[in-house]
Amino acid sequence: MKKIKGSITSPKGFTATGITCGIKKSGKKDLAIIYSEIPCSAAAVFTTNKFKAPPIIVSEKQMRSGVIQAIVANSGNANAATGKQGITDAWEMVDVAAKALKVLKANVVVTSTGIIGKLLPMEKIVPGINRAVNNLSKKGGLDAAHAILTTDKIEKEITLKVGKYTISGIAKGSGMICPNMATMHAFITTDAKIDSALLKKLLKQAVDVSFNMLSVDNCMSTSDCVIAMANGMSGAEVTGHKSQEEFKKALDHICIHLAKEIARDGEGATKLIEAKVVNAKSISDARDAAKMIISSDLFKAAIFGKDLNWGRLVGALGASKALFDQNKVDVFAEGIQIVADGGELDVSRSQAKKIFKMKNIIFRVDLKAGKHSAEAWGCDLSYDYVKINARYHT
């Protein structure tokens, strides 16, 4: 497995595009299509938010067969909290795309992200879909990655070469990030040949160690989804134990990379925070403890202020469900021990300065309660986060 330069269209048989159809007032790209020459084995994980957006409701139904051929994604408008008309509009997006692509209606899924509570401008989206279909190309991957963004500052993409097959992913996400399944929108393509049931199993596992361990602001979206497509055009089959483990490793890597990029690009963020909890009594303890640390607003604000306030970290740790003896806990920041057996260690001003020079700060927490570990990712809480969300009408 090695990282290569590429895009969502790098696997054989995939094309994509990203265009401006007028949803965003800024004039930026706002409509993307990802398309496979042939139907794909497919799997998805959707938001557990009870106020699901119509595109999620529609795409959940479309995914039941485990086969899709195209993803249509718009940004600038989430088509959420739009009632029956929102459902009608989501199905119209499916219909229009299926006819333009000349594929089965059952093989198209749709996603939308952006402002909540506004109907989609279908008079712009319908012709936009037709224009986008005519614009599909092998060179359209970066445009697609750009067209799904909202408050993001950067595109998020990664491509891996694994033996004879390729696997790629793109994602959007910057705010309203704290899922119980995945986060934001992430789309994964591969030309490996894999059964949809196995792909679904491995995708869920990948989500659990990546997007489920991510928080920017502890707020769950109505529109979160992760969708994977495998068309098998490389001829490389994922069947036996060895090939499954190899594919799992690559899929985990893709999802973890995208999750970290979302945290790094969090609204107003200046630092990426990684919490590594080791020697927990159980995997659930490790995950819960790590997630609590990176979700603490007090801790995140301290990091923004360059204040090595470890009390906020252990306070968040203590609020988790993890079982441990507080008198045994050790904490390290960028390899510098700041807590020993639950108590403070003297950290010099020069050491603290060294820690806060890093754009990516890793906190390692040793619970000394077992043999399990987990990682979680978040970002600091800045003035700009408040400004962005005070001005972003949802």
Vertex 131: Cα angle to 128 and 132 (nearest 5): 85
Q: List the one residue out of 59, 53, 48 whose CA is nearest residue 91.
A: 59
* Amino acid, single-letter form, for residue 245: E
Cα–Cα distance for residue pair 32/60, rounded to 1 Å: 19
Query: How is residue 247 written in tokens?
Result: 């594919």
- Residue 111 neighbours by CB distance under 10 Å: 29
Cβ pair 68, 107 in contact under 8 A: yes
Query: How is residue 61 written in tokens?
Result: 């139904």
Query: Can you tell me which residue has the tokens 């299509």?
Result: 33
Identify the active-site residue in 111, 183, 189, 222.
183
Query: How is residue 19 written in tokens?
Result: 């265009």
Cα–Cα distance for residue pair 300/291, rounded to 1 Å: 12
Cα–Cα distance for residue pair 270/291, rounded to 1 Å: 19
Cβ pair 183, 111 in contact under 8 A: no
Q: Give the E-state strand segments of 212-359 in sequence order.
A: 225-230, 272-280, 330-333, 336-340, 343-344
Query: E strand or H helix at 171, and its extent?
Result: strand 165-172
Judge whether 151 counts as a catalytic residue.
Answer: no
Q: Which residues are catalytic?
A: 183
